[in-house]
Amino acid sequence: MCELLGMSANVPTDIVFSFTGLMQRGGGTGPHRDGWGIGFYEGRGLRLFQDPAASVDSEVARLLQRYPIKSQTVIGHIRQANVGAVSLANTHPFMRELWGRNWCFAHNGQLPDFAATAGFYRPVGDTDSEAAFCALLNRLRLACPEPVPVDVLLPVLVASCSEYHQRGVFNCLLSDGDWLFSFCSTKLAHITRRAPFGPACLKDAQLSVDFKAQTTPNDVVTLLATEPLTSNEVWNCYQPGEWRLWRGGECIAQGRA
């Protein structure tokens, strides 16, 4: 199974600390050696870095550790291949344009025999994950031919994820750059950091940070991960079928399918 990483913040924030922990699981402390990727939103733009190599050995991953990119919305992924070859085309996150915005998606789990449906969006690679992403976007495009607020989209998003949840394992992160949607089928956790900030210690690397020295009292930063990344903080674990919608580090809607 793969692992997810997400961030929603109210100010541009770098994710170097959490990314450093996650990349160790990509072939070091974990078995997820089949590629990794991470997308950083900058306004309506999306910086997407991908590598089919194991993140623990990746020079691109090391570059991102030395080059802190600040963003308010981030989606990351490390892959343990089940469906589809180890290749750049099959490396998450996946990106497509819809309504003039870059949509970014990453999936953890398996959807047995999931085939891409006919429609505007088609997969480039041969993973069940990308097929599900294209099918989801086709549903949204059909239900809403023109751009609509995210609260109008939510019923379609939740219904689609609920259906995929019934067909297999579907933990996912999805964003259009304005909001971050998370859905749990089996495993997902989050932590929201706000004042008073304190220290945090990674589980997978000998690295700690005192967020009080790097933040202001008004900062709000929510991290999402398949498994908690730190050893000295309390993470909130999702229940199967639970979903949340995030904006600016805050949960603005939630429910359970």
Helix (H) or strand (E) segment spanning residue 245:
strand 242-247
2 is catalytic: yes
Measured at the CA of 230, the angle between CA 171 and CA 243, to 5 degrees, comes to 25
CA neighbor of 133 nearest in space, from 141, 36, 79 = 141
10-23 burial by CB neighbour count: b if 16+ within 10 A, else e? beebbbbbbbbbbb
Q: Which of 2, 104, 134, 172 is catalytic?
A: 2
DSSP labels for 63-118?
HHHHS--EEEEEEEEE---SSS-SSGGGPSPEEEEETTEEEEEEEES--TT--PPS
Enzyme catalytic residues: 2
